C-alpha cells in the first residue's frame, strides 16, 4: 500500500481498459514480439550482478555449490535438478515495466535476492539429495507429498521461518527447506536471535549442520537440465501475459452479493466527481501484495476477487472524493482481507442461506 502521508494518484478513465492499454509506446510495440526472438541473456544485465552476489554469499558460508542460472518463464528449479530459472522479463527494463503493468508487479533488488536465495535452497537440497535422508524427512516432511495450490497456512506459526510472503514455507516440505535455507543464507539475518524459542530454529540448525558437513564436498547431482529456456518460448510477450492471466483467473462466484457492501463503502453515482473503479485499478497490485502477504490466500484468488469487485464497482457507477482516497482504500482492504480469511478457513467467501 502507499506509504502514510503520500497522496494516492490515479487516472480518470471512464471505461474498462483493454489488455495492455496504458503501456508506453515502446512497451506496447514489444508486446507483439516472440519471446524467443528477443535474444535475451543474463550477460551484461543487473541479474549478472545479483547472481554473483548470491555466489559470494554461498562462498561466505563455506559452500562450493554454484547453481547455474538461466532465463525462463518464471522463478523455479526443475524438480531434483540444481539449477535456477529466472523470469525472462528481469533481463530487460522495458519487459520489467510490462510485468509491472500486466503481471505481478515489479520486483525490487531485495525481492530478486530473496528469490535467488530461496531457489539456491532448492538447488542445495537437490545437489546433495538431502530430501532422501531420514533427518531431513523428520524435520521437513515427505518430499514426495503432492503440491497443492490451495494449501491452508497457519499465519504466524512458529514452526516455519518467514521469508517469501504468504507463509510460503508452509506450502510443501521442499518449500519449507528452501525458505529455511534462504533465511540462513541471508547476510545479517541474525537468525539465531530472530527465531529463538521457535520450532523453526531446529530446521535452521539442520541447515547449518548440513552446510558444515558438505561445504567442500562435490555434489552427487550435477545435471543441468532446464525446465523451459527463454530461447524455446514461442509465444509473443502479449500471449504470455494473456495466458498467464487466464491461468490465474479463478471463478469466485460472488455475483452481486457484495453490491450493498460496495455501495456502503463508496459513494453513489452522483455524490462525488471521481469514479471509484479508477481508484481500485490504480491500487490493484498494491492490494494483491498487501492481502496475500498476511492472509496466505493465493495471489490468483485475491486477484480474481479484486477484479470482480472492480467490475461490480464499475457497473454500479460508484464514485469517490479524491481527498478521501486513503480512507476508501483502507476500508476496501479490510473488506478484501475479511473475504480472504473466510475463504482460507471455510472455502467460502461468505455464508449463503
Q: Please check whether residues 270 and 328 belong to one and the same domain.
A: yes
Classify residue 12: in a domain, yes or no. no
Classify residue 117: in a domain, yes or no. no
Quick one: pLDDT at residue 352? 58
Question: Is residue 50 predicted with pLDDT exceeding 50?
Answer: yes
Classify residue 298: in a domain, yes or no. yes
Classify residue 207: in a domain, yes or no. yes
Mean pLDDT of 111-134: 97
Q: Please check whether residues 194 and 244 belong to one and the same domain.
A: no
Please say whether the beta carbons of 219 and 137 come within 8 A.
no
Q: What is the pLDDT of residues 281-336, one digit of tens each?
A: 989 888 988 898 888 888 888 888 998 999 999 999 999 999 999 999 999 999 99
Question: Is residue 258 predicted with pLDDT exceeding 60?
Answer: yes
Question: Is residue 22 predicted with pLDDT exceeding 70?
Answer: no
Question: Is residue 12 predicted with pLDDT exceeding 60?
Answer: no
Classify residue 16: in a domain, yes or no. no
Q: Please check whether residues 260 and 336 belong to one and the same domain.
A: yes
CA distance 74 to 94: 17
Question: Is residue 197 predicted with pLDDT exceeding 80?
Answer: yes
Question: Is residue 113 predicted with pLDDT exceeding 50?
Answer: yes
Please say whether the beta carbons of 317 and 125 come within 8 A.
no
Q: Please check whether residues 100 and 227 belong to one and the same domain.
A: yes
Rounded-to-10 torsion of CA 88, 89, 94, 100: 170
Quick one: pLDDT at residue 272? 94
Local confidence band at 23 (pLDDT 50, 70, 90 cut-offs): confident
Residue percentage of the chain with pLDDT more than 70: 92
Structural domain boundaries enclosing 338: 249-345
Q: Please check whether residues 241 and 256 belong to one and the same domain.
A: no
Question: Is residue 249 predicted with pLDDT exceeding 80?
Answer: no
Local confidence band at 20 (pLDDT 50, 70, 90 cut-offs): low
Q: Please check whether residues 194 and 237 belong to one and the same domain.
A: no
Tell me the whole-structure pTM to 2 decimals.
Answer: 0.83
Domains in the chain, number: 3
Task: Write out the three cell numbers for 29.
Answer: 510495440
Q: Please check whether residues 332 and 244 belong to one and the same domain.
A: no
Question: Is residue 14 predicted with pLDDT exceeding 50?
Answer: no
Handedness of CA 11, 15, 17, 23 (dihedral sign): negative
Question: Is residue 65 predicted with pLDDT exceeding 90?
Answer: yes
Classify residue 350: in a domain, yes or no. no
Nearest CA-CA partner of 173 in 105, 110, 122:
122
Classify residue 352: in a domain, yes or no. no
Mean pLDDT of 142-166: 89
Q: What is the pLDDT of residues 88-108, one digit of tens each?
A: 999 999 999 888 878 767 789
Please say whether the beta carbons of 269 and 319 come within 8 A.
yes
CA distance 69 to 42: 9
Classify residue 54: in a domain, yes or no. yes
Nearest CA-CA partner of 165 in 299, 346, 329, 334:
299
Amino acid at each position: 500500500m502507499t506509504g502514510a502521508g503520500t497522496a494516492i494518484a490515479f487516472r480518470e478513465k471512464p471505461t474498462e481498459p483493454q489488455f495492455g492499454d496504458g503501456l508506453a509506446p515502446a512497451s506496447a510495440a514489444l508486446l507483439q514480439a516472440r519471446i524467443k526472438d528477443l535474444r535475451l541473456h543474463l550477460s551484461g544485465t543487473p541479474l549478472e550482478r545479483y547472481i554473483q552476489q548470491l555466489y559470494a554469499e554461498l562462498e561466505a558460508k563455506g559452500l562450493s555449490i554454484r547453481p547455474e542460472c538461466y532465463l525462463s518463464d518464471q522463478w523455479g528449479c526443475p524438480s531434483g535438478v540444481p539449477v535456477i530459472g529466472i523470469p525472462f522479463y528481469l533481463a530487460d527494463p522495458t519487459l520489467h515495466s510490462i510485468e509491472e503493468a500486466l503481471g505481478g508487479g515489479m520486483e525490487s533488488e531485495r525481492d530478486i535476492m530473496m528469490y535467488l536465495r530461496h531457489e539456491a535452497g532448492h538447488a542445495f537440497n537437490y545437489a546433495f539429495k538431502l530430501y532422501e535422508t531420514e533427518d531431513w524427512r523428520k524435520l521437513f516432511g515427505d518430499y514426495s507429498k503432492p503440491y497443492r495450490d490451495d494449501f491452508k497456512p497457519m499465519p504466524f506459526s512458529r514452526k516455519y521461518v518467514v521469508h517469501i510472503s504468504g507463509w510460503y514455507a508452509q506450502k510443501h516440505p521442499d518449500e519449507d527447506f528452501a525458505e529455511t535455507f534462504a533465511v540462513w543464507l541471508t547476510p545479517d539475518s541474525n537468525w539465531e536471535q530472530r527465531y529463538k524459542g521457535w520450532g523453526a530454529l531446529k530446521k535452521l540448525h539442520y541447515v547449518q549442520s548440513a552446510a558444515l558437513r558438505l561445504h567442500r564436498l562435490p555434489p552427487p547431482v550435477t545435471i543441468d537440465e532446464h525446465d523451459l529456456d527463454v530461447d524455446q518460448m514461442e509465444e509473443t510477450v502479449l500471449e504470455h501475459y494473456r495466458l498467464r492471466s487466464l491461468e490465474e483467473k479463478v471463478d469466485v462466484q460472488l455475483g452481486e452479493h457484495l453490491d450493498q457492501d460496495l455501495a456502503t463503502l463508496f459513494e453513489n453515482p452522483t455524490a462525488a466527481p471521481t469514479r471509484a473503479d479508477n481508484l481500485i485499478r490504480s491500487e490493484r497490485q498494491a492490494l494483491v501484495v498487501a492481502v496475500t502477504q498476511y492472509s496466505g490466500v493465493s495471489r490468483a484468488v485475491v486477484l480474481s476477487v479484486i477484479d470482480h469487485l472492480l467490475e461490480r464497482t464499475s457497473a454500479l457507477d460508484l464514485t469517490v472524493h479524491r481527498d478521501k482516497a486513503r480512507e476508501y482504500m483502507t476500508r476496501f482492504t479490510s473488506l478484501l482481507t475479511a473475504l480472504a480469511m473466510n475463504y482460507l478457513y471455510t472455502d467460502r467467501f461468505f455464508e449463503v442461506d
